[in-house]
Amino acid sequence: QVQLVESGGGLVQAGGSLRLSCADSTRTFNTYAMGWFRQTPGKEREFVAAINWSGGRTDYADSVQGRFTISRISRVSSKNTVYLQMNSLKPEDTAVYYCAAAYGTNWPVPSNNYVYWGQGTQVTVSS
pLDDT one-digit tens code per residue, 76-110: 556 789 999 999 999 999 999 999 999 888 899 99
- In this structure, the number of other CB atoms found within 10 A of the CB of residue 35 comes to 26
- pLDDT value at residue 27: 66
Q: Higher confidence at residue 74 or residue 32? A: 32
* 22 and 35 Cβ atoms separated by less than 8 Å: no
Q: Looking at the predicted structure, is the pLDDT value of residue 47 above 90?
A: yes
Does residue 37 have a pLDDT over 80? yes
